[in-house]
Amino acid sequence: MMNEKPSTSPVAPAIEPSRRGFIAGAAAATAATASTLPVELFAQVAGSDEIKVGMIGCGGRNSGAIIQNLTANDGARLVAVADAFQDKLDGSAARGKGLPAIQAQLEKEGKSKQFDVPSSRQYAGFDAYKAVIDQCDLVCIATPPGFRPIHFEYAVQAGKHVFMEKPVCVDAKGFNQVIEAAKIADQKNLKVVVGLQRHYQNVYLEAFKQVHEAGAIGEIVSAQAWWNGTRPWIIPREAGWSEMEYQMRNWYHFNWLCGDHIAEQHVHNIDVINWFVSGDSAMGGNPVIAQGMGGRAGTEPRTVGEIFDHHYVEFRFGPEHNNVYMNSQCRHQKGTMSKVAEEIVGTEGILQLGSGRITDHKGNVKWQYRTERGKADPNPYQVEHDELYRHIRENKPINNAYYGAKSSFTSVFGRLATYSGKEIKWDDAVKSNFSIMPENFAMDAEAPVKPGPNGEYAIAIPGEWPLPWG
């Protein structure tokens, strides 16, 4: 397990040594108790609307997710919050309004009673997640993806229900960590939802039935997935920032934090293909071989970060899935075609999920998804939280971590293929258990990657970039 340099601190008042010791002791006690309590006690809020919610990460996604989570259950209260940065808690961050904006939105919606986060339960620092998890029944995790295996594992060991954003890992160690924690979550009767919201979107659910129950496209033979758009945000480097802080502020542009945009964004489309090809809504599936190409076309300076701006990957599934090929492409380049969609080709038709339509091979429409007359489809971002609470209340099993991990690592698998330019095998990548995370977590700790003397970061060169397992 990685060494973590203690850095937890509340907004105000400052943690006294005795309180710091209490938090550490409580964390250890919770983890120890979690391994000995009867399984049924881990569903501590089953049948009840009363639930204490914690939030880890105060960026844009969790700002939305926590509103949706509290909206799903009027009895839920946000009681503790953590972020690596103090300014995300007090709302002074350059990007994103953080905790004050969440409080204001809840007040606007008449839900101010659901916000119960005094300054003594607002925590900043790399290990702040522990104090939050120790005080809640359910935790919403939307930190940079590299941290999610660590936070998920701790939450499960502590016996807490979890909503976790995607992707859930950036390397093999993280993948294996999530899978093992998912098994423990099942043993403890914990409920886990991952923010791959297409699994909760009516058009995808109905299309899945058409493919796997009605046989509308016959046998699946190939699939396509796209996430082509433009470059996301960049936060300019400020004087006084350490290299670690710069990378944390610009987490999207570094693999140890983001996994590259093939993971952070394109995972949605990759996940859909894994889901439909495998036909397994609970466990999901994964390809077994990948090869591809990609690079940095020069649309942004190399002083920004290390990720590619385009990837094209040919994924191949195993014989149990008819050796289906998935062609995957994602791109960050201005002035190019934008497309976010999935398409699945069968022996008797083509499913175009972007338009919710099945045609035969001559283009004649066989099925078209339509909403019920006079009604709009529910927001899948809201539905995933509604379903999490329903499963808690009814004490029914739900654990998205398995397919969340497989789809997340499929995107990492694709990154390995494009960076190396080699054909790689899933089992080799998983068994390697390679990690790209730093040895220590602190703003003054050594960052995993560093810019050169000219301030530019090294970009992987296919054919020269070595696979992490040699």
CA neighbours closer than 13 Å in the CB half-sphere of residue 331:
18
Q: Any residues with CB less than 8 A from the CB of 382 and at least 6 apart, and which? A: 68, 71, 72
Q: Give me the DSSP letters along 47-71.
A: T-S-EEEEEE--SHHHHHHHHHHHH
Nearest to 194 by CA among 133, 151, 229, 257: 151
Whether 9-198+386-400 shares its CATH topology with 202-377+407-432 is answered no
DSSP SS3 for 348: coil
pLDDT (0 to 100) of residue 374: 83
Fold of 9-198+386-400: Rossmann fold (3.40.50)
Characterize the bridge pairing of strands 192-194 and 161-164: parallel
Q: Mean pLDDT, consecutive 10-residue segments, the chain of 470 residues?
A: 36 30 35 36 51 91 85 96 93 70 87 94 97 98 97 98 98 98 98 98 98 98 96 90 97 97 98 98 97 90 95 98 97 93 98 96 97 91 98 97 98 98 98 97 96 96 94
Collect contacts of 366-370 with beta carbons under 8 A, ≥24 apart. Answer: 366/216, 367/210, 367/216, 369/202, 369/203, 369/206, 369/207
Neighbours of 411 (CB within 10 A): 30
pLDDT (0 to 100) of residue 21: 32
Helix 380-394 vs helix 60-71: angle between axes, to the nearest 10 degrees? 50
Q: List 140's β-bridge partners, or say none.
A: 55, 163
pLDDT (0 to 100) of residue 35: 36
**What top-level class would CATH report for the domain 202-377+407-432?**
alpha beta
Q: In the chain, what are the domain boundaries? A: 9-198+386-400, 202-377+407-432
Contact indicator for 328, 412 with CB cutoff of 8 Å: no
pLDDT (0 to 100) of residue 49: 66
- In the chain, how long is the greatest CA-to-CA distance? 73
